[in-house]
Every structure is written in C-alpha cells, then in structure tokens.
Amino acid sequence: MAQYTRVSGSVGLITLQNPPVNALSAAVRQGIVDTVKRALGDPKVKSVVICGQNGIFCGGADIKEFGTNMSGPPLVPMIHAIEAANKPVVAAIEGSALGGGLELALGCHYRIAHSKARLGLPEVSLGLLPAAGGTQRLPRLIGVPAALDLITTGRHVTAAEALQLGVVDRVAEHSTVDAAVKFALSVAAKSLDARRISTYPCPRPSDFDALFEGAMQKVRQSARGAIAPVACVQAVRAAATRPYLQGMEREKELMATLFTSGQARALQYCFFAQRAVSKWNMPNGARWDTSKPRPVHKAAVIGLGTMGRGIAVALAQTGMSVVAVETQEKQLMEAKQAVSGMLERGAKRRGLTPAALHKISYSHDIQAVADVDLVIEAVFEDMALKKKVFQQLSAVCKPGTFLCTNTSALDVDHLASQTRNPELVVGMHFFAPAHVMKLLEVVYGPQSSPQAVATAMQLGKKMGKVSVAVGNCRGFVGNRMLKPYIEQAFFLLEEGATPELVDRALEEFGFPMGVFRMSDLSGLDVGWRVRKGDGLVESGSASGQPTRLREGRRYSPLGDLLCEQGRFGQKTGRGWYQYDKPGSRVARSDPWFHSFLEEYRARHGLVARRIDHQEVLERCLYVLINEGFRILEDGIAAGPEDIDIIYVFGYGWPRHRGGPMFYAGMVGLATVLERLEHYRQAHPDVPYLQPCSLLRRLVASGSPPVHRWREVIKKLHSQL
C-alpha cells in the first residue's frame, strides 16, 4: 500500500509500504493511484514527493505476482498519470530504485537520490524488459548508448554514476526525503513543460546503424541463446526510431512475448532459488535461522597453489586479516607476488586503493596459524597429504578454530576424523579462479556442528559468494553430477561422435564451453590422477589395448590414452583439440585425434554411427539430471534449487534454462524418464542410464512442479 501525509504545509508525501523492498504489488499500485489522485486534488498541495519506507525506494514489480492472475491497476497508465500531473512530483530515492521502481521515478518530474542508493533496470536478468516505459524514457533522458548499456546488462549504478549519466538530478548526503521535500517546495511554481521525459526527442546518434548492429552482436554473443537481451535492443531501437506512443506499443509487444516465455520463468525461478539456498537446512534438523555463526576476524589459507591464492585474495578483500602459508619457499615467494598482483588489479578495477594488500601476512611455517579463527586448507588434492595437514592443524590451532578443506571430491568426514574436534570441520569447495567464481559448496558431514556450517555460509556471503550447503559424498553435488555427464560424452565418441559435434550441441544449448573444450581448459590430467587413484587406469601402451570394462561396467579409456600421450589439454597444446602453442586458448580440430579415434574404434570393433545434437543433449544432460535426482534421494542436497544454483553459478549451466532440475521439469519428467529408458534399452552396457527411483516416483505422482518436489522427497525419506 501507500501512505499519504501532507508535510511542510504544501507537500503531499506518498510513502510506498510493502516490506522488505516496497515491491509494486497490486495493493501498492492501487495505493499510488489513490494517493496521487488525492494529492493532485488537494488545493493545499503544491508539489508531491514519492518515497519508500525503511530506507528503500522500490525494488520494482512484485515478481511473486508474475504468473498469477495479476489484478490491480497496471503500471503504464499509473506512471503516465504521474508524468502528466500539473504539480511537480519528486522521487526521493533511498536504498534501491530498480525495475518498475526506477520506471516510476522516471515518470516523476525530478529525481533525488541518496549517495548510497543504487539504481537500475535489471528486468533483463528476469527474462523481461522494462515495460513500464523504461525502454522509451531512459534513452530520451540519457541518450541511446548509455540506455542500451543499462537496459541490456541490467547493471545497477551508484547514485554518483546516475548523477553523471543524468538519471537523477541531485544526490543527497543525509535525509533524502527532507532534501526532496525542500526541493519540492522550491519548484512548486515552476513550469513542468521541460520535465516530462516522454515528450523529449530521443537523441539519434550519428553512428546509429553501427551502434545498434554492434549492440545486437554483443548481446547475441554473450546471451548464449537468451532472448530478453535481444528484445531489449529492439525496444531501445524503437525509442530511437519511433514517436513515443508507437515506441510504447513496441515495448508492450516485445514484453508480451517475453512475459510468458519459458526463459522468463527459468530466470525468475533462479532469482528465488538463489535466495532460497541461503536458507539452508541439514538432515539432522539444523537450520539457517536457528544456527548462529561465529565471527571470523582472522583466517588462514594453507597451500598457495592456484586455488589457495584465489582464496587468500577473496578472504583479504573482505577486510579481515589473512595468514597465507606455503611450506615451499620458492612457491611462497611466487604466490606472494601473484596474490599482490591480483589484489592490485582488483582494486584498480573498482577504483580503490589495494588496502587488502596489508591484510595478508605470509609464512612457510604452519605454526603461524595458531591464533586464527578459521583455516581453509588448499593443498594438493591428495588424501595422505591432507590428512597430515589436518592432524597438524588440530594440534597447532587455538581451541575452537574452524578447519575447512577446499577439496573438490575427497571425503570430508575422513579429514574430520583426523582432528580432535570433528564438529569444527567442514568443506569449503571453491571454484577456480576462487576470487572470481561466485559458487561455494559448503560441505557438512554427520559430525559438523550447525555453527561450523553457519560460519562457513556467512563467510561465503562476506566473500560475495553464492554459498550452498550440501552433504558429504564423492564429488559432493557439482562434481558428482559432472562425472556421468563427462563419461557419457566419452561413450558418444566411441559410438561415432566427435569432440566438435558434442561441444557444438552443448554450446548451442547455452554452455559457455562444451565438455571437451572444458576438459582441455581444466586439464585432462586432473581426472586421470583421480581415476588412477581409483585403480581404473590400465596402461594402453603396456597391454596394447586397455579393456573397456571396469568393475563389471563399460568404461571408456579414451581420456587415459590421451594422457599417456602427454596430451593434457591447453597447457600442453594438445588434448581433445590442438592449440597453436601450450597455453594458447583457441581450440582447433585435430586430424591426429580423428585418426586416433578411428583406429581406436577399429581396434575395439566399434562401428561409428550418425549421432545428432538431440542425442548428445539427451544423453549428456539426462544422465546428469538423473544423478541430480539420486543426490536428492540420498539427501545430499536439500532441494532442487540447491542443485540448480550450483550448476548455474559453478558449471556454466545457462541461467535462462533455470538449472538442470528446473530444466527437467520444463522438458517434462515423463519425457526425461522415457528417454533414459530408451537409451538404456539401446545401450544396456552404458552406465548411468538407469532412471533413479525418485524420478520414477515423481512421474508416478503426476510430475509435480519443481517447488513441490520436496514434499515427494520427504515422503520417500520417511518410508526408508
């Protein structure tokens, strides 16, 4: 709703009231319509101020209302009525003015923002466009190039940038409402002719065609198949080429296609899923709202390889003191230089001085961590080494220090068992580069205390990560699901596909990189080492041809054979593809690999068949999804949102497809089940194609929508 009061004798003050972000629900829109009418009809009122309660102007349309029977007054005529008013209307912007909130402000005659406010049109990230006149007013106000940037990226700008761009008229340091009321009094008698943005001509840049072609090319490249950024460019183009009202028609038409699209549903699901995962719970009943984190003032990182360096940077950027330990002197010196460089570049990008540089101290002695509150171990991925480090940490650290491991797959419980206080141990699985990638898997074991989980989750938040709490199992959530996905791609090569075909299918789906390009980037030797540790690797050169069976299941030794040849991917200049030189990033098709593959097939009596994109997608993605269902069944992830957020933020799953579990719902669970069964029948020896019981159960219960899966899972668990 909206509250109306008269202040300073002649200013009508309208306060939006809809906690927590004053979203424009039907009640708020009705409130605005009613209070504006009242202010304009009150002869004592000479000017109007619109603000939001609790220090936030407005977070935009109420996203929870989308997809429901949206009643209440529509935004466009409401904003038009404000702009057409014959009394000045001033927006007093504190906190955020986003989406419909900023569009409301653009309908006002003046905008005053608090210096800490942030403004933006983030609709594109929800699969929409600013359809309450945002695409038509903003270019008229700040010009086409700046409007294109804000609308197609959805980025939020600071009040200072908004002032510089001309989005706001003034910035207030103290009470924005007081400043706006004072300002409203000063402009009460002024003409409004030049203050109605919809009446401005849209400036037409001289390089008009090149500008729009460039913008379209840029969004097509970065959108990976998302349709909203393209529609945003089209809507701004309409502003630049058509009269205002016709531009509004185009905006409406484009929005109509987006609003009901699957992509908008997926992106809005991601918005809420991202918030849902912070409300974690563990199978033992521990929860985010009943578990208090302990403050971390000083933390340590053990091991300064690539991951350790990134973690040290991420920690130091929070402002806390960090002890960085590396026992090898040469590595320590190199790491010190690299970490300083990363901090300096990061500070430069943000226009800050690198204060975090002075927050890190370096040591080659593990004793240096004696007084820290939390340690993150990031040594080489070797269980024996990690066990030793945990034993040392347990002896060295002060009582109560949380001990975390950055392992990507090893058993966290086993490490916990090496310490005196296993309840203080959790996994903190970062993704490379650790100071850049947003995802953090916080891995709890049966002994991890709720406080340890809460502390790791809070620390993740402080580092700007999207943290997801998951249970302990081989590979946790992300890497456990990745295994069948990668293996399926290997089987497809054996059956007739090429790395190029598989990658193209996955990249057209929206992944930034297909499975083979990704494998070349991260290094084939990583998986090889793990498979060797698991006793799966048979030397091809020794026996002439390694078998294609392990532990009674079909196994593809293709990756092992490449590693035997020293083909570790980009770093060696050869992998599934070839590169100009080691370290170069442009993958080129490799004739050597193609003839190697043909020989391999011939040696094993495999006859290549034609494989299309659909089969690549169905086999690779459905086995990954099937493993996701197993993870839910095992209680390793609390809900489908956790899995989806892990895949969107850590594994390049296209956000506009909502994450693997949401995608399964969109495709139809019955279809996923049917296709898995189909491939299982066609390839009975290929692992992972057996649909799991939760998937069957969900299909049997009528394929409920994703937000109702938890009920089915709960029932399943109660019956076990």
Ligand X SMILES: CC/C=C\C=C\CC(=O)SCCNC(=O)CCNC(=O)[C@H](O)C(C)(C)COP(=O)(O)OP(=O)(O)OC[C@H]1O[C@@H](n2cnc3c(N)ncnc32)[C@H](O)[C@@H]1OP(=O)(O)O
Given candidates 13, 50, 79, 131, which one binds ligand X under the rule CB under 6 A? 131
- Residue 611 interacts with ligand X (CB under 6 A)? no
Q: Is 526 within 8 Å of 539 (Cβ atoms)?
A: no
Contacts of 203 (CB under 8 A, 6+ apart): 139, 140, 143, 144
Residue type, 456: A
Looking from the CA of 154 toward its CB, the CA atoms found within 13 Å total: 18
Cis previous bond, 433, omega within 30: yes
Given candidates 64, 348, 388, 585, which one binds ligand X under the rule CB under 6 A? 64
Q: How many residues line the site for ligand X (CB under 6 A)?
A: 21
| Shorter beta-carbon distance to ligand X: residue 96 or 135 | 96
Given candidates 4, 48, 62, 422, which one binds ligand X under the rule CB under 6 A? 62
Given candidates 61, 248, 558, 673, which one binds ligand X under the rule CB under 6 A? 61
Given candidates 12, 31, 52, 60, which one binds ligand X under the rule CB under 6 A? 60
Given candidates 2, 11, 16, 23, which one binds ligand X under the rule CB under 6 A? 23
Looking from the CA of 649 toward its CB, the CA atoms found within 13 Å total: 27
- Residue 552 interacts with ligand X (CB under 6 A)? no
Supply the minimum distance, in Å, between the C-beta of residue 267 and ligand X: 10
Reading the block at residue 126, the tokens are 């929800």
| Shorter beta-carbon distance to ligand X: residue 255 or 530 | 255
Supply the minimum distance, in Å, between the C-beta of residue 286 and ligand X: 19
| Shorter beta-carbon distance to ligand X: residue 156 or 429 | 156
Given candidates 82, 126, 409, 515, which one binds ligand X under the rule CB under 6 A? 126
Supply the minimum distance, in Å, between the C-beta of residue 73 and ligand X: 11
The continuous run of DSSP H or E covering 4 comes out as strand 2-7
Based on the residue annotation, tell me whether 334 is a catalytic residue of this protein. Answer: no
Binding piece for ligand X, criterion CB under 6 A, among 97-105, 233-241, 354-362, 604-612: 97-105
Looking from the CA of 153 toward its CB, the CA atoms found within 13 Å total: 13
Binding piece for ligand X, criterion CB under 6 A, among 18-26, 164-172, 280-288, 400-408: 18-26
| Shorter beta-carbon distance to ligand X: residue 122 or 687 | 122
Binding piece for ligand X, criterion CB under 6 A, among 59-67, 334-342, 365-373, 402-410: 59-67
- Residue 59 interacts with ligand X (CB under 6 A)? yes
Count Cβ atoms within 10 A of the Cβ of residue 609 and give its class: 0-12 exposed, 13-18 middle, 19 or more buried: exposed
| Shorter beta-carbon distance to ligand X: residue 373 or 644 | 644
DSSP symbols for 180-230: HHHHHHHTTTS--GGG-GGGSPPP--TTHHHHHHHHHHHHHHHHTT-SHHH
> What's the Cα-to-Cα distance from 532 to each of 16, 334, 473, 486, 547, rounded to whole Å?
62, 30, 19, 17, 15
Query: Measured between alpha carbons, how far is 112 from 91 in angstroms, rounded to an integer?
Result: 6
Given candidates 63, 666, 667, 670, which one binds ligand X under the rule CB under 6 A? 63
| Shorter beta-carbon distance to ligand X: residue 127 or 559 | 127
- Residue 122 interacts with ligand X (CB under 6 A)? yes
* CB contact burial 644-683 (16+ within 10 A = b; e otherwise): bbbbbbbbbbbbbbbbbbbbbbbbebeebbebbeebeeee
| Shorter beta-carbon distance to ligand X: residue 78 or 623 | 78
Catalytic residue among 83, 123, 251, 495: 123
- Residue 100 interacts with ligand X (CB under 6 A)? yes
| Shorter beta-carbon distance to ligand X: residue 98 or 304 | 98
Closest CA to 125 of 644, 656, 654: 656
Given candidates 15, 35, 47, 96, which one binds ligand X under the rule CB under 6 A? 96
Reading the block at residue 222, the tokens are 């970065």
Site for ligand X in 266-285 (CB under 6 A): 272, 275
Reading the block at residue 618, the tokens are 């169905």
Binding piece for ligand X, criterion CB under 6 A, among 125-133, 220-228, 488-496, 563-571: 125-133
- Residue 128 interacts with ligand X (CB under 6 A)? yes
- Residue 500 interacts with ligand X (CB under 6 A)? no
- Residue 27 interacts with ligand X (CB under 6 A)? no
Based on the residue annotation, tell me whether 103 is a catalytic residue of this protein. Answer: yes
Given candidates 11, 21, 165, 463, which one binds ligand X under the rule CB under 6 A? 21
Reading the block at residue 564, the tokens are 């035997």
- Residue 304 interacts with ligand X (CB under 6 A)? no
Estimate the crossing angle of helix 515-522 against helix 524-533, to 10 degrees: 80
Binding piece for ligand X, criterion CB under 6 A, among 20-28, 139-147, 417-425, 708-716: 20-28
Estimate the crossing angle of helix 228-241 against helix 208-223, to 10 degrees: 170
Supply the minimum distance, in Å, between the C-beta of residue 264 and ligand X: 10
| Phi (first) and psi of residue 375, to 5 degrees | -120, 140
Q: Is the dihedral of CA 518, 519, 521, 526 positive or negative?
A: positive
> What's the Cα-to-Cα distance from 467 to each of 85, 440, 627, rounded to whole Å?
47, 5, 21
Catalytic residue among 83, 94, 103, 441: 103
| Shorter beta-carbon distance to ligand X: residue 271 or 596 | 271
The continuous run of DSSP H or E covering 323 comes out as strand 321-325
Binding residues for ligand X, per CB under 6 A?
20-21, 23, 59-64, 75, 96, 98-100, 122-123, 126, 128, 131, 272, 275
Active-site residues, by number, are: 103, 123
